[in-house]
């Protein structure tokens, strides 16, 4: 390959990469602004401070206020790890894992992952795992104290279904047994 062609190709490729990076940077800048405008962001410090003093925290907010995407990120930023966040539906667990991974610039399936009945992106480095309520119930059968988790978030628990109701009761008893477990509803 002639040196001139190689030089032109290298220049075009580096220009394209720079352009792509600028687009991503602008997109992330807009994302950060929109995150700060979410209603839950006003309560970030209060939520984290409260979690230092209690084992169970109930958070309620309107649809779209950022509960499902932002609170797990706040916990990660504050140094919590081994977090499970339940969802009543498989598609929600998968979509939230992708969204939170994108918002935190983590590789999908690395620090932030999902696990549903026959599929998982979880690795040894996973710190935040989105799971279905049914999967967490199955994990309770083999690990009755859920020692693999430090924090459990029951998202969308107000939808009231059999799995969610069972989880509420079982976690109520589990929180009494485990001093280190934090549960958010």
Measured between alpha carbons, how far is residue 43 from residues 23, 65, 66, 71 in Å? 30, 11, 11, 10
- Domain 40-184 bears CATH identifier 2.60.120.20: no
Distance of CA 140 to the CA centre of its chain: 20
Burial class of 48 by CB neighbour count within 10 A (0 to 12, 13 to 18, 19+): middle
For the chain, domain boundaries: 1-37, 40-184
pTM over 0.75: yes
- The per-residue pLDDT string of the chain (185 residues; one tens digit each, 9 = 90 and over) reads 889 999 999 999 999 999 888 888 888 888 888 888 888 999 999 999 999 888 888 888 888 888 999 999 999 999 999 999 999 999 999 999 999 998 888 755 679 999 999 999 888 899 999 999 999 999 999 999 999 999 999 998 888 888 889 999 998 889 888 878 777 66
């Amino acid at each position: 390959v002639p040196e001139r062609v190689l030089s032109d190709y290298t220049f075009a490729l580096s220009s394209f990469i720079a352009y792509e990076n600028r687009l991503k940077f602008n997109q992330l800048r807009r994302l950060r602004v929109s995150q700060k405008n979410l209603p839950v962001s006003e309560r970030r410090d209060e939520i984290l401070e409260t979690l230092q003093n209690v084992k169970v925290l109930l958070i309620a907010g309107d649809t779209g206020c950022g509960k499902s995407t932002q609170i797990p990120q706040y916990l990660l930023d504050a140094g919590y790890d081994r977090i499970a966040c339940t969802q009543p539906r498989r598609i929600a667990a998968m979509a939230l894992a992708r969204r939170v991974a994108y918002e935190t610039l983590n590789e999908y399936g690395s620090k932030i992952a999902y696990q549903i009945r026959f599929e998982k992106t979880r690795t040894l480095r996973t710190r935040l795992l989105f799971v279905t309520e049914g999967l967490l119930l199955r994990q309770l059968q083999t690990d009755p104290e859920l020692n693999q988790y430090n924090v459990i978030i029951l998202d969308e628990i107000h939808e009231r279904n059999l799995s969610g109701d069972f989880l509420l009761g079982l976690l109520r008893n589990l929180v009494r047994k485990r001093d280190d477990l934090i549960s958010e509803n």
